[in-house]
């Protein structure tokens, strides 16, 4: 895949309560405000999803563009966390084999609506976070 023009963009399922909490978790800790966010339900998010091979109508992963590359599943989560102040230690988790990490990721992803719930529509961030959302 060619390099993506936008940097440090997190693609997430905007109707998933767990995913929306993940965005708020990252935004709160991202003191440099480097990450921006796009719900898969937005035009921009759907375009990214399709480019990355993610079904916008049935997303099974979040994704992050970082360093011009696309990371998905556990690689995406660890890449994002490792960039946050005080969270560099998570880089050590890259030593866990990807198939094992992704098995855990997939288990949560498959059951996220049942465990955490689902919004009727994309969550609406507060004004500060809204400035970092790409639609």
Q: How many CA atoms lie within 13 A of 83 on its CB side?
A: 21
Do the domain assignments include residue 33?
yes
Task: Identify which of 125, 11, 119 has the alpha carbon closest to the alpha carbon of residue 60.
Answer: 11
The alpha carbon of residue 1 and the mean position of all alpha carbons in its chain are separated, in whole angstroms, by: 19
Do the domain assignments include residue 3?
no
Question: Containing domain of residue 102, as a range?
Answer: 9-130
Q: How far apart are CA 57 and CA 104, in angstroms?
A: 22
Do the domain assignments include residue 1?
no
pLDDT at 2: 46
Do the domain assignments include residue 2?
no
Do the domain assignments include residue 4?
no
The pTM of this model reads 0.88
Task: Identify which of 2, 119, 3, 16 has the alpha carbon closest to the alpha carbon of residue 59.
Answer: 16
pLDDT at 105: 94
Dig out the tokens for 45 from the structure.
């998010």
Q: Are strands 36-39 and 9-12 parallel, antiparallel or unpaired?
A: parallel
The residue-averaged pLDDT of 18-44 equals 93
pLDDT at 4: 62
Helix (H, G, I), strand (E, B) or coil at 85: coil
Is residue 124 scored above 70 in pLDDT? Answer: no
> Per-residue pLDDT tens for 34-58?
999 999 999 999 999 999 999 988 8
Supply the mean pLDDT for the chain.
89
Helix (H, G, I), strand (E, B) or coil at 134: coil
Distances (CA, A) of 116 to 15, 27, 109: 11, 20, 11
Do the domain assignments include residue 84?
yes
Do the domain assignments include residue 44?
yes
pLDDT class of 132 with cuts at 50, 70, 90? confident
Dig out the tokens for 72 from the structure.
């998905």
> Per-residue pLDDT tens for 77-87?
999 999 999 99
What is the number of domains present in the chain?
Answer: 1
């Amino acid at each position: 895949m060619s390099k993506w023009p936008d940097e440090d963009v997190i693609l997430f399922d905007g109707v998933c309560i767990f995913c929306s909490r993940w965005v708020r978790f990252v935004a709160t800790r991202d003191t440099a405000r480097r990450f921006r966010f796009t719900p898969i339900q937005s035009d921009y998010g759907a375009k990214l999803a399709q480019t990355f091979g993610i079904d916008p109508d049935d997303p099974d992963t979040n994704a992050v563009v970082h360093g011009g590359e696309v990371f998905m599943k556990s690689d995406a989560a660890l890449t994002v966390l490792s960039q946050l102040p005080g969270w560099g230690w998570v880089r050590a988790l890259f030593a866990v084999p990807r198939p094992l990490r992704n098995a855990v990721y997939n288990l949560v992803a498959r059951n996220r609506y049942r465990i955490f719930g689902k919004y009727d529509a994309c969550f609406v961030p507060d004004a500060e976070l809204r400035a970092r959302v790409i639609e």
